[in-house]
């Protein structure tokens, strides 16, 4: 353990922001070559054992209270200068190196488990808009991950923590879609970035100390998420092309139900088979897999409309109701989506004539209305 | 290990030292190659190793003579490596060889002409092989393997030495290929990018100047990278080049090239003859090729799905990275099936042959034991028409596909589907 004297630490004053790091400064010059306190193998040097017993180190809580740097979730009775050990959660802070960190600032595994449980319980909070909730949990889970990696922890309990954090990012991704605001798209981007990082770490931990032919309880599902993030050839979310990634899978994983499912989806997606894609997703996807597939579901539906638009005989109108059933959309939602598509003149070639062709057969009045609407829009 | 007397050991070591120094003085590259090639396990090297292990103080021998001490550092490391290699201590052998290699490369830089290029190739090859063996030893002892990664760094250094204006630059492609093999083995293929960029954009290199053998290997690996990145036309170009220029006697190499070229060609609509598959023992593709020829969707699905077999073909395809290429063949198989239906209809009722009823297609699929409702059949036909595999249109109400009178099933003509 390192003991170094420090000057006062300063923070950047942002309130729970997903943006930047704070830096710790010290007035004492560092002598990195002289590590008298560390013994043993060079491999053990940077792995601290944390001793902080609450969700937030006391030092940090006191400092942030003083600087009014408390998130809304951390304020005791809404007081921006007062928190408590039940409410304060350690903030993410980019440290310069592991040598700068003190053991009393790092939370051991049981505390991290408790912290994560608490953080995830806030997901359903109705008091604040989701962006605010997401922002807080985003930052604080990042700090949890940091504590885990500084201590180089890797066990089944740790796997469970990472899996829960991945779930958070996936669900957030979906919920952020229905939020609005200027910063949402950058939040979304940062969320995807951390999702990718967390998944990578999770996969590494699965691989470390693996017993031959063994896969962890949820491993197949979490591996399948990688495939779903890479259905599209051009999406390089995590940098490694899918065919390379597949090489590393063990045969147990390849044979698992979840991997078979995503391979089926992959086949349908790559071949443009929207019917199979939508049906397979509807019948076999877990909630997490569904959340990740959502953009592709929309893509497949648009693709279906584009195909049908180009390929169908114009004198034989394609009933909207039937189409909405095939694309597994509620009819009302489908109709308004179609009107929106044409209003934005997205992608489709022969707009006017097939528009009439795609009119609903149930009432000629409705189709007349649509034609009128269309003419005013274009 | 054979018993060797001190006198005999002394003689063997001195003989080797003389050979080494003469090889350098007379610029005898092939002699030098023989002296450095550990993995050949030649009797002379093995007997030298035995001698070293008996004599134990070869460095004193080296120091005694001016002729030998000129290359003292190189020889000392080399001997140490050989000794460790002989007793099966592969990690030590690697570490010493790495030091030898570094010293050797320093000398190589000072030699003006490129006479020792072949010997340098041997050094590069040996270091990679030794690193792989060392990593095996490390993993079997529960430690993490890092020697191959280190070998990669050394090879990059050698590349840097060769990347200059002089005659030595023709060696750069050989080293590049050693790097490719290293990165592929490590799984860090993205590292290939920087060395590829150097070869392809640096003005000092003229691709045509490189030896043929190296060009073939280079195109093979870069072709495989294109397969991984799903750039099929580029993969076709490169792998075809490799095939064309490969020595026809090297059947093993041809097989390796075909293993990747065949799926790429399939995706472009080009089907190999069965004789080719048989000659080069590429049975894993037999079913896929058959399915494409006959429009047999069931056979294709069977070939790419899970089996209960011990020998899991899917895993083979996934490991070699061609799985995604093969999955996309489904649309071509559908096209072939539609064409067959059309041909059969033409024989029985030519006037109506250009109308494919969805019901008839569904029936054909049921014969292949594939159960598909009309909505899905319609979906497939829609895609086929949209991607230009079928020319015509779909009449939804009549549940019929009306084919164009002219060329209703266009060939891919070397372009991937849907482009």
pLDDT 10s digits, B212-248? 999 999 999 999 999 988 888 999 999 999 999 999 9
Beta bridge partners, B394, equal A312, B401
Evaluate whether A263 touches A227 at the Cβ level (below 8 Å): yes
Our CA-based measurement puts residue A196 at a distance from the nearest CA of chain B, in whole angstroms, of 18
Q: What is residue A311's predicted lDDT score, i.e. its pLDDT?
A: 86
Percent of chain A with pLDDT over 90: 40
Residue A368 has pLDDT above 80, yes or no: no
| Residue B312: pLDDT band with limits 50, 70, 90 | low
Q: Do B318 and A313 touch (CB under 8 A)?
A: no
CA A202 to chain centre: 13
User: What is residue B310's three-state secondary structure?
Assistant: coil
> Minimal Cα distance from A314: which residue of B?
B395
Inter-chain Cβ pairs, chain A and chain B, closer than 8 A: 102
Q: Which of B386, B399, B400, B419 to mutate to test the interface with A (most CBs of A within 10 A)?
A: B386
Chain A residues whose beta carbon lies within 8 Å of the beta carbon of residue B380: 273
Q: What is residue A8's predicted lDDT score, i.e. its pLDDT?
A: 37
pLDDT 10s digits, A230-251? 888 776 656 678 888 888 888 8
Residue A111 has pLDDT above 90, yes or no: yes
Evaluate whether B403 touches B356 at the Cβ level (below 8 Å): yes
What's the rounded mean pLDDT across residues A211-222? 87
Mean per-residue pLDDT over chain A, rounded: 77
Residue A361 has pLDDT above 50, yes or no: no
Q: What is residue A13's predicted lDDT score, i.e. its pLDDT?
A: 37
> Minimal Cα distance from A241: which residue of B?
B229
| Tokens coding A169 | 């990012």
Evaluate whether A60 touches A91 at the Cβ level (below 8 Å): yes
Q: What is residue A75's predicted lDDT score, i.e. its pLDDT?
A: 92
Evaluate whether B287 touches B303 at the Cβ level (below 8 Å): yes
Rounded Cα–Cα distance for residues A117 and A122 (Å): 9
Residue A221 has pLDDT above 90, yes or no: yes
| Residue B188: pLDDT band with limits 50, 70, 90 | confident
What's the rounded mean pLDDT across residues A313-321? 75
pLDDT 10s digits, A183-208? 888 999 999 999 999 999 999 899 88
Q: What is residue B418's predicted lDDT score, i.e. its pLDDT?
A: 66
Q: Do B396 and A313 touch (CB under 8 A)?
A: yes
Chain B residues whose beta carbon lies within 8 Å of the beta carbon of residue A306: 386
b/e sequence B206-220, b meaning 16+ C-beta within 10 Å? eeeebeebbbbbbbb
| Residue A120: pLDDT band with limits 50, 70, 90 | very high
Q: What are phi and psi of A28, to 5 degrees?
A: -90, 125
Our CA-based measurement puts residue B352 at a distance from the nearest CA of chain A, in whole angstroms, of 18
Rounded Cα–Cα distance for residues B112 and A46 (Å): 47
Nearest CB to A241; choose among B228, B330, B395: B228
pLDDT 10s digits, A29-80? 333 333 333 333 334 455 788 899 999 999 999 999 999 999 999 999 988 8
Highest average pLDDT, of A16-30, B83-97, B137-151, comes from B83-97
Q: What is residue A239's predicted lDDT score, i.e. its pLDDT?
A: 65
Residue A321 has pLDDT above 80, yes or no: no
Rounded Cα–Cα distance for residues A138 and A156 (Å): 23
| Residue A351: pLDDT band with limits 50, 70, 90 | very low
Which residues of chain B approach chain A closer than 8 Å at the C-beta? 187, 189-190, 227-230, 306, 312, 314-315, 318-324, 327-328, 330-331, 375-376, 379-380, 382-383, 385-387, 393-398, 402, 418
Predicted TM-score (pTM) of the model is 0.79
Percent of chain B with pLDDT over 70: 97
Q: What is residue B234's predicted lDDT score, i.e. its pLDDT?
A: 94
Nearest CB to B318; choose among A254, A310, A326: A254
Q: Do A270 and B397 touch (CB under 8 A)?
A: no
Q: What are phi and psi of B241, to 5 degrees?
A: -60, -45
Q: What is residue A360's predicted lDDT score, i.e. its pLDDT?
A: 36
Our CA-based measurement puts residue A245 at a distance from the nearest CA of chain B, in whole angstroms, of 9
For B392, the enclosing helix (H) or strand (E) is strand B392-395
Residue A314 has pLDDT above 80, yes or no: no
| Residue B112: pLDDT band with limits 50, 70, 90 | confident
- SS3 readout for B280-315: CCCHHHHHHHHHHHHCCHHHHHHHHCCCCCCCCHHH
**A313 or B13: which leads in pLDDT:** B13
What's the rounded mean pLDDT across residues B318-346? 90
Taking Cα atoms as reference points, which of B414, B346, B330, B321 lies closest to residue B379? B330
What's the rounded mean pLDDT across residues A306-310? 85
| Residue B64: pLDDT band with limits 50, 70, 90 | confident
Q: What is residue A27's predicted lDDT score, i.e. its pLDDT?
A: 30
What's the rounded mean pLDDT across residues B190-194? 90
Residues in chain A: 378
Interacting residues of B313 by C-beta distance below 8 A, sequence separation 6+: B284, B303, B304, B307
A262 to A375, B148, B178, B193, B220: CA distances (angstroms): 43, 34, 36, 29, 30
Evaluate whether A258 touches A202 at the Cβ level (below 8 Å): no
Q: Do B321 and A260 touch (CB under 8 A)?
A: no
Residue A7 has pLDDT above 70, yes or no: no
Q: Do A326 and B385 touch (CB under 8 A)?
A: no
Q: 3-state SS of chain A: helix, strand, coil percent to 5?
A: 60, 0, 40
Alpha helix stretches (DSSP H) within B209-267: 212-228, 232-245, 251-267
Evaluate whether B200 touches B230 at the Cβ level (below 8 Å): no
Q: What is residue B99's predicted lDDT score, i.e. its pLDDT?
A: 96
b/e sequence B50-80, b meaning 16+ C-beta within 10 Å? bbbbbbeebeebbeeeeebeebebbbbbbbb
Beta bridge partners, B401, equal B356, B394
Q: What is residue B414's predicted lDDT score, i.e. its pLDDT?
A: 75
What's the rounded mean pLDDT across residues A12-19? 36
Q: What are phi and psi of B365, to 5 degrees?
A: -65, -35
Nearest CB to B189; choose among A244, A270, A273: A244
Sign of CA dihedral B48, B52, B58, B59: positive
Residue A5 has pLDDT above 50, yes or no: no
Rounded Cα–Cα distance for residues A89 and A55 (Å): 5
Q: What's the ipTM?
A: 0.80
Q: Do A307 and B323 touch (CB under 8 A)?
A: no
Sign of CA dihedral B277, B278, B280, B284: positive
Q: Do B319 and A247 touch (CB under 8 A)?
A: yes
What's the rounded mean pLDDT across residues B372-397? 92
Evaluate whether B264 touches B230 at the Cβ level (below 8 Å): no
Q: What is residue A245's predicted lDDT score, i.e. its pLDDT?
A: 86
Place of tokens 């989701």: A130
- Beta strands across the sheet bearing B400-403: B355-357, B400-403, B392-395
Within 10 angstroms of residue B156's Cβ, the number of other Cβ atoms is 15
Q: What is residue A253's predicted lDDT score, i.e. its pLDDT?
A: 87
Place of tokens 């704070």: A22
| Residue A342: pLDDT band with limits 50, 70, 90 | low
Q: Is A108 left (phi over 0), alpha (psi -120 to 50) or beta?
A: beta
> Minimal Cα distance from B187: which residue of A?
A244
Mean per-residue pLDDT over chain B, rounded: 90
What's the rounded mean pLDDT across residues A303-320? 81
């Amino acid at each position: 353990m390192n003991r170094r004297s420090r000057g006062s630490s300063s923070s950047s004053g942002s309130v729970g922001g997903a943006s930047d790091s704070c830096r710790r400064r010290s007035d004492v010059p560092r002598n990195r070559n002289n590590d008298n306190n560390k013994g043993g193998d060079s491999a053990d040097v940077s792995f601290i054992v944390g001793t902080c017993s609450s969700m937030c180190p006391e030092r940090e809580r006191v400092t942030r209270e003083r600087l009014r740097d408390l998130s809304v979730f951390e304020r005791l009775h809404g007081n921006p200068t007062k928190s408590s050990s039940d409410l304060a959660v350690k903030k993410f802070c980019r440290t310069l190196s592991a040598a700068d960190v003190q053991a009393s600032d790092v939370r051991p595994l049981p505390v991290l488990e408790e912290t994560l449980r608490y953080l995830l319980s806030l997901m359903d909070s109705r008091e604040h808009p989701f962006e605010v909730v997401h922002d807080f949990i985003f930052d604080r889970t990042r700090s949890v991950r940091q504590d885990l990696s500084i201590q180089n922890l890797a066990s089944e309990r740790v796997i469970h923590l990472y899996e829960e954090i991945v779930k958070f990012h996936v669900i957030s991704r979906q919920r952020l879609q229905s939020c609005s605001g200027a910063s949402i798209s950058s939040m979304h981007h940062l969320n995807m970035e951390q999702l990718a990082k967390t998944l990578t770490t999770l996969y590494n931990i699965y691989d470390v100390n693996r017993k031959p032919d063994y896969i962890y309880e949820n491993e197949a599902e979490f591996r399948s998420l990688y495939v779903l993030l890479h259905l599209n050839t051009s999406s390089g979310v995590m940098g490694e092309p899918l065919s390379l990634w597949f090489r590393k899978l063990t045969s147990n994983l390849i044979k698992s139900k979840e991997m078979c499912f995503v391979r089926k989806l992959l086949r349908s997606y790559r071949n443009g088979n929207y019917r199979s894609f939508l049906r397979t997703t509807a019948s076999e996807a877990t909630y997490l897999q569904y959340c990740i597939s959502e953009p592709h579901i929309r893509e497949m539906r648009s693709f279906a409309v584009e195909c049908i638009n180009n390929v169908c005989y114009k004198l034989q109108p394609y009933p909207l109701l039937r189409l909405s059933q095939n694309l597994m959309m509620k009819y009302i939602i489908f109709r308004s989506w179609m009107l929106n598509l044409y209003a934005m003149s997205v992608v489709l070639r022969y707009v006017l004539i097939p528009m009439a062709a795609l009119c609903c057969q149930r009432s000629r009045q409705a189709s007349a209305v649509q034609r009128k609407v269309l003419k005013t829009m274009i | 290990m054979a018993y060797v007397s001190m006198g005999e050991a002394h003689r063997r070591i001195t003989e080797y030292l003389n050979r080494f120094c003469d090889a350098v003085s007379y610029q005898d590259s092939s002699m030098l190659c023989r002296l450095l090639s550990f993995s050949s396990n030649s009797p002379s090297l093995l007997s030298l190793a035995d001698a070293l292990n008996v004599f134990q103080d070869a460095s004193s021998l080296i120091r005694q003579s001016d002729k030998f001490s000129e290359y003292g550092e190189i020889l000392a490391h080399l001997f140490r490596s050989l000794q460790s290699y002989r007793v099966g201590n592969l990690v030590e052998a690697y570490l010493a060889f790495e030091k030898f290699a570094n010293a050797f490369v320093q000398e190589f830089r000072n030699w003006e002409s490129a006479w020792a290029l072949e010997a340098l190739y041997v050094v590069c090859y040996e270091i990679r092989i030794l690193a792989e063996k060392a990593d095996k030893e490390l993993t079997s002892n529960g430690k993490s393997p890092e020697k191959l990664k280190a070998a990669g760094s050394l090879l990059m250094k050698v590349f840097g030495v060769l990347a200059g204006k002089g005659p030595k630059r023709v060696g750069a492609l050989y080293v590049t290929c050693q790097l490719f093999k290293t990165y592929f083995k490590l799984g860090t293929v993205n590292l290939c990018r920087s060395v590829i960029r150097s070869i392809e954009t640096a003005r000092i290199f003229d691709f045509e100047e490189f030896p043929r053998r190296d060009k073939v290997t280079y195109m093979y690996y870069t072709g495989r990278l294109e397969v991984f990145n799903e750039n099929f036309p580029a993969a076709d170009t490169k792998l075809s080049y490799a095939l064309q220029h490969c020595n026809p006697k090297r059947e093993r190499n041809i097989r390796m090239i075909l293993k990747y070229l065949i799926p790429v060609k399939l995706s472009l609509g080009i089907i190999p003859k069965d004789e080719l598959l048989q000659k080069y023992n590429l049975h894993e593709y037999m079913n896929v090729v058959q399915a494409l020829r006959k429009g047999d969707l069931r056979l294709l699905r069977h070939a790419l799905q899970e089996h209960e077999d011990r020998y899991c073909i899917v895993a083979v395809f996934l490991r070699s990275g061609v799985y995604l290429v093969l999955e996309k063949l489904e649309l071509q198989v559908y096209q072939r099936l539609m064409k067959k239906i059309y041909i059969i209809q033409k024989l029985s009722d030519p006037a109506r042959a250009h109308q494919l009823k969805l019901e008839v297609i569904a029936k054909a699929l049921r014969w292949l034991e594939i159960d598909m409702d009309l909505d899905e059949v319609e979906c497939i036909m829609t895609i086929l028409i949209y991607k230009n595999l079928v020319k015509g249109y779909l009449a939804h109400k009549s549940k019929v596909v009306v084919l164009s009178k002219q060329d209703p099933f266009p060939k891919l003509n070397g372009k991937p589907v849907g482009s």
